[in-house]
Amino acid sequence: MGIHYRSTGAFLSFMSLLFVSTIPSQYCCATDTLTQAQQIFVGQTLISFRQIFELGFFSPRNSGKLYVGMWYKNISVHRVVWVANRENPLKAVDSASSLTIGKDGNLNLLDGTRHTVWSTNVSFQSNSSFAVLSDNGDFILKDNVSGVIMWESFNYPCDTFLPGMMIGTNTKTGEKRYLSSWKTEEDPSPGKFVGALTTDTPPQAFIWNGSNSHWRGGPWDGWKFIGIPDTKQGYANGFNLLPDNQKGSAYLTFNTYNISYVTFVVLTPLGSLKIMNWDEEIKNWYVKWVAPENPCDFYGVCGPFGVCNKKKAPICDCLKGFVPKSTEDWSKGNWTGGCVRRTELLCQKNITSLALGKAKNDGFWKLNAMKLPDHFEYLYNEDSSSCQKWCLRNCSCVAYAHVAGIGCMVWAGGLMDVQQFSFAGDDLFVRLAHSELGKDTKKAKLIVSFTTISAVFVLATFVCGLYWRRANKRGKRPNRLRDFVLGDIMDNSRDTLQETASRDQVIHGESSELPTFCFNKIVVATDNFSITNKLGEGGFGPVYKGKLEDGTEVAVKRLSSHSGQGSEEFRNEVILISKLQHRNLVRLLGCCIEGEEMLLIYEYMTNRSLDTFLFDAKKRVQLDWAKRFHIILGIARGLLYLHRDSCLRVIHRDLKASNILLDDHMNPKISDFGLARTFRLTQELAKTHRVVGTFGYMSPEYAMGGLFSEKSDVFSFGVLLLEIVSGMRNTILHYHEKYANLLGYAWQLWNEKKALDLMDEALAESPSQSDVMRCIHIGLLCIQDHVVDRPTMSAVVVMLSSGADLPLPKQPTSTMQTVLDSDLRSQHNDVYSVNEASVSVIVGR
């Protein structure tokens, strides 16, 4: 195949019509491959196989300069996405310039005098290389003998991030791939702005203006940059970060869910990062997302300890307990000086030990929905309370945050680039002197939410009781109606709930049976919620140990009065758990609602939770194989009950080691139903926009697309099973280990036929190897990517208790942190097309 020639005269006249003009070529005879025998001259192009991209010479309007670049072939508004010689332009009049492959196999751009102005310049010598333009916009130089890719344009991005590219750094090789803006719309040479990932752990998205910080997207939490509040939940936003701890690298990828969407990310000459989409109807590009977007988005507008809120005027304010460094500058609207602490911290004071005894210790002020500050330090594997303790112990620690998917972050020095979001964002705890920690003034709000919750509580338990009773009376009756009504409770807003419930009340008029406890008794039982009785933090508040008058030990879960969020989960838990009874589920003994207090009283589990054993170097030894297997089987049975056998059909959604409680006989009991959902008989997959749950236990379809089904629980069960066998946590962002996570590691060992290496070393006295193998095998079956490949819980229970042959597991690619969005797309096509505004959607078969 030859390369098509066309006249330069036509090219010149065409050029002046376009902003950035390209040199059109005819469709006929075009090829996507350049071989050693060939050259591309001005006016000739390479065209990718499916006619998506085109590569050739172009000349921006009035520039007098000539470049080799790549653009979309079939899109009427030209967009150059890549430029080879952006730093070494040719003269536009130099029509004898050509792109060719040299004797050493490199791609060379030659001017009219055969002088090389640009080269791929790779040391790999090849006498048979060729270059091919692929349909995703990658220009690849390959050695035809070995098949080695010598060079590819994707590794040298300009201002455009195309789907399939990777941007990031490799600390070992020193490689840095970043976006660099054009100087102006007509000048492709590198401008002032650079968009890249930082080398922080976890990495942050960043734009620099020269050497100044310009915009910050915040650290990556496993599915998004947490400083970008409008990121679509899950991986639906198309971005994914692939950390490779072994290689010391982290790369950001960008994918489209639908290959027919033409989309790219660009860093403009004015420093805006934009996601652009092509709209075939209006035949133009439109901006899908842009940053920085509002005045608060510019890095550090309010200076250290300042906080920016775009909805306020002026936008800058000092954090609580801080005052402007210079009131004069501040009043003039020059906020860059920031704020300073009003009251010295106790730990900073030089006071005698006598006075110290009387002084009240520093504390933390909680700020909701924040863009967390820059310059954080990441503490590995600390839970929220140890994160707080660590910060309190170290006087240079001025703030901390515990973020799902990241863990503990602490700050020393000035808190830079803090923003108040109106939604999303994270909780930031700022250290203040005791006297600065005033009383919370949110009482009014709390009372409102309390009233709603209690109304919901009464009505909901009533409905629950009603249907349960009726089911008991009549024996078998179609589940559909019951599931329908309860499903509505779970899915709809409070108004609808009250409506549904009160309608039923009028018709049937019955009431709930859940025992209630008197608040004073609970106060006595828990020694006034003393810290020594605190067992931990549950889904929506602290959990205390208590002893009732009759000597019964109980666990008391207290809805923390500061959390508005928890009310939803409280309601959920009450509705669900009061109706569920199984020996592998924790039992709710009663509840207590008095004044602002909302408490749930559970049976007390002497051995606390599974994670306290499994991940504790000393205590894990107590879990021999027989106990572990007993626990695995118990969890499986509990889940099976939830999915199939209970009067409701429930998806737990937050199954993890810390939610498995152990009684004095080491019987496992599933707890924490704050996130659970009922589902209907006809409902296979549901979708939610609030993807909640715990990293490392979330199935890919749920984490990426917000789709959940009983098979999401099966996935979590598989993770839990592998954790129990190995005694290791499946931490997704396990920056300090060789493997990204346990699942990847397990698969690798399995593949190398060394699966038994996964077994916990604490299981010294070798259990039956075939039993351990079987458990690993079942675990791998449960964590498969595709919902259909995973067994149901009833199948799992059978597999665990029989010796029948098991199917071979497929490689869990999602756990290797690769987004297989095309698979997702084809599988759940119908789900992606549902109305995005509703919270939960029913999907028929």
Ligand X SMILES: *[C@@H]1O[C@H](CO)[C@@H](O)[C@H](O)[C@H]1NC(C)=O
> Strand ranges (DSSP E) for 249-345?
249-254, 263-267, 273-279, 284-291, 306-308, 316-318, 322-324, 339-341
Q: How far is the CB of 444 from ligand X (least distance, A)?
A: 38
Q: Does 348 bind ligand X (CB under 6 A)?
A: no
Please give the Cα distance from 252 to 120 (Å, whole number).
24
Closest chain position to ligand X (CB): 337
Q: Which of 13, 113, 260, 353 binds ligand X (CB under 6 A)?
A: 260
Q: Does 748 bind ligand X (CB under 6 A)?
A: no
Edge-to-edge order in the sheet of strand 33-34:
33-34, 129-133, 139-143, 149-152
Identify residue 415 by its one-letter amino acid code: L
Q: Does 779 bind ligand X (CB under 6 A)?
A: no
Return the number of other C-beta atoms located less than 10 Å from residue 265's C-beta: 24
Q: Does 422 bind ligand X (CB under 6 A)?
A: no
Please give the Cα distance from 434 to 365 (Å, whole number).
10
- Judged by CB under 6 A, how many residues of this single chain contact ligand X? 32
Q: Which of 140, 242, 369, 412 binds ligand X (CB under 6 A)?
A: 412
Please give the Cα distance from 463 to 512 (Å, whole number).
8
Q: Does 87 bind ligand X (CB under 6 A)?
A: no
Q: Which of 6, 8, 24, 33 binds ligand X (CB under 6 A)?
A: 33
What is the end-to-end Cα distance of the chain in Å, rounded?
A: 50
Site string for ligand X, 41-70 (x = CB under 6 A): ----------x-------------------
Tokens of 544: 């205390």
| 736, 655 contact by CB (below 8 A) | no
Q: Which residues contact 457 (CB under 8 A, 6 or more apart)?
A: 570, 571, 574, 591, 593, 598
Q: Does 146 bind ligand X (CB under 6 A)?
A: no
* Dihedral sign, Cα of residue 128, residue 131, residue 136, residue 137: positive
Q: Which residues contact 824 (CB under 8 A, 6 or more apart)?
A: 257, 700, 701, 704, 705
Q: How far is the CB of 337 from ligand X (least distance, A)?
A: 3
Q: How far is the CB of 705 from ligand X (least distance, A)?
A: 13
- Is 654 assigned a catalytic role? yes
Q: Which of 16, 26, 74, 769 binds ligand X (CB under 6 A)?
A: 74
> Residue holding tokens 């009310």?
567
Residue number with CB closer to ligand X (329 or 737): 329
Q: Does 121 bind ligand X (CB under 6 A)?
A: yes
Q: Does 368 bind ligand X (CB under 6 A)?
A: no
Task: Considering only residues 173 through 212, tell me which ones interact with ligand X, judged by CB under 6 A.
Answer: 192, 209-210, 212
Q: Which of 39, 95, 394, 748 binds ligand X (CB under 6 A)?
A: 394
Q: How far is the CB of 822 from ligand X (least distance, A)?
A: 8
The full 3-state SS of 395-441, as one line of letters, equals CCEEEEEEECCCEEEEEECCCCCEEECCCCCEEEEEEECHHHCCCCC
Residue 289 bridge partners (DSSP): 275
Q: Which of 95, 119, 343, 452 binds ligand X (CB under 6 A)?
A: 119
Please give the Cα distance from 240 to 699 (Å, whole number).
15
Task: Considering only residues 206 through 235, tell me which ones interact with ligand X, judged by CB under 6 A.
Answer: 209-210, 212, 214
Residue number with CB closer to ligand X (322 or 717): 322
Q: Does 813 bind ligand X (CB under 6 A)?
A: no
Residue number with CB closer to ligand X (331 or 511): 331
Residue number with CB closer to ligand X (120 or 253): 120
Q: Which of 337, 363, 465, 564 binds ligand X (CB under 6 A)?
A: 337
Q: How far is the CB of 404 from ligand X (least distance, A)?
A: 22
Q: Which residues contact 225 (CB under 8 A, 6 or more apart)?
A: 204, 205, 217, 218, 219, 231, 239
Candidate list 32, 654, 672, 760, residue with the active-site label:
654
Return the number of other C-beta atoms located less than 10 Å from residue 271's C-beta: 20
Contact region with ligand X (CB under 6 A), list: 14-22, 332-340, 511-519, 521-529: 332-340
Residue number with CB closer to ligand X (410 or 555): 410
| 704, 819 contact by CB (below 8 A) | yes
Please give the Cα distance from 415 to 700 (Å, whole number).
35
Host H or E run for residue 353: helix 353-358
Please give the Cα distance from 678 to 460 (Å, whole number).
14
Q: What is the CA radius of gyration of the chain?
A: 31
Q: Which of 346, 797, 825, 842 binds ligand X (CB under 6 A)?
A: 825
Contact region with ligand X (CB under 6 A), list: 329-337, 558-566, 683-691, 724-732: 329-337
Q: Which of 187, 293, 329, 611 binds ligand X (CB under 6 A)?
A: 329
Q: Does 396 bind ligand X (CB under 6 A)?
A: yes
Site string for ligand X, 269-298 (x = CB under 6 A): -xx---------------------------
Q: Which residues are catalytic?
A: 654
Residue numbers of the site for ligand X (CB under 6 A)?
Answer: 33, 35, 51, 74, 119, 121, 127, 130, 144, 192, 209-210, 212, 214, 258, 260, 270-271, 326, 329, 334, 336-337, 350, 377, 394, 396-397, 410, 412, 825, 829
